[in-house]
Amino acid sequence: MIDEANLDKTKVICLFVGTAHDFSDHVLRLASEEFPCCEFQRISHINDLGFFDKNGRHNLRAIIVHQSQSKELLAQLGKICEGFNGAMVALGYRDVPAARQVADAAEADGLGAQLGYLPMNLEIDRWVSVLRLLLCGESYMPRELIEQAAPAPEPAKHAMPDRLFDRLTDREFEVLSCAAQGNQNKIIADKLGLSVHTVKLHMHHVIAKLGVHNRTEATICFLEQQHSARVQ
C-alpha cells in the first residue's frame, strides 16, 4: 500500500502516456490492484496532456511517459512540471542505453532533478516499489543509469554497498524484509510479535542507518541488494 502519510485521502490519478502496446491493460490492472487508492489512466501521446481535465489536475500524482516519446518529453518537461505542479514526471523504459541518453540530456538542460525513471522490465515486487516511490512524490534514478550517466552529480542513495546492511540489527533487518514484501506496519507487528509503535521505531532506525529519505527508498535498496545477491 502507498504510505498514507504522503497521500491525500481523496483518490489520486496516475497517467501512463503511451499506447496499449507501451503500457498494456495488464500493467494498468496490476497497478490498480496494488494501489486501490489510485486511478490509473492511459493516454496515447504526450501532446494529449493539454486536454487532460483541468479539474483533475489537482489529484494528478504521477505522469509516466514511455521512452518512445522521450524527445517530446525533454522538449516539454519544464512546461509539464509547471502545468501539473505537484505531479512526479517519470520515463518508463526498457532500453537502458536510450534511457541513459535521456538522463544525460535532462541533466545537461538543468532538468535532471525534475525527472524520475520507471524501469518496465523489473521483477514485479521491485517495479511496484518504484511506482510507490513515484506516487509518493519521490524521484528514482536506477543504478544502471547512474553508473554510466554523465555527468553523475552524486551516487544514488539506492546504489549502496551490501555492507551497509550489516549496520542493521537482526530485528531491523526482519522489519525491513517484511516492509519490502509490501506489508503494512500492523501486519509486520503481528508477524513479528511487536507493537506497531516498535515497528515504526525500527523502521526509523533503518532509514537513518541506510542514509535514505523514507521507507520506500529503504525497501527499494533492500530489494536491489537481494536481487544482486541472487545474480552473483
Cα dihedral angle (204, 193, 9, 53), rounded to 10 degrees? 80
Distance CA 46, CA 162 (A): 39
Bridge-partner residues for 117, per DSSP? Answer: 91
Hey, what CATH class is 4-146 in? alpha beta
Distance CA 32, CA 14 (A): 10
Q: At what angle do helices 196-210 and 170-180 cross, to 10 degrees?
A: 100
Say which amino acid occupies 169.
Answer: T
Residues 169, 194 contacting (CB under 8 angstroms): no
Residue 94 falls in which region: left (phi positive, over 0), alpha (psi -120 to 50) or beta:
alpha
What pLDDT is recorded for position 25?
92
What pLDDT is recorded for position 95?
93
Distance CA 143, CA 145 (A): 5
Architecture of domain 162-231: Orthogonal Bundle (1.10)
What pLDDT is recorded for position 168?
86
What pLDDT is recorded for position 161?
47
Beta-sheet strands, E only, within 105-197: 115-119
Distance CA 21, CA 90 (A): 18
Each residue of 122-151: pLDDT tens digit?
A: 888 889 888 988 888 888 888 788 755 444
Mean pLDDT split into 10-residue runs, the chain, 232 residues:
45 92 92 91 91 66 95 92 86 93 89 89 85 85 68 44 74 90 86 88 84 81 74 54
* Distance between start and end Cα atoms, the chain: 30
What pLDDT is recorded for position 43?
94
- CB neighbours of residue 195 within 10 Å: 12
**Domains of the chain, residue spans:** 4-146, 162-231
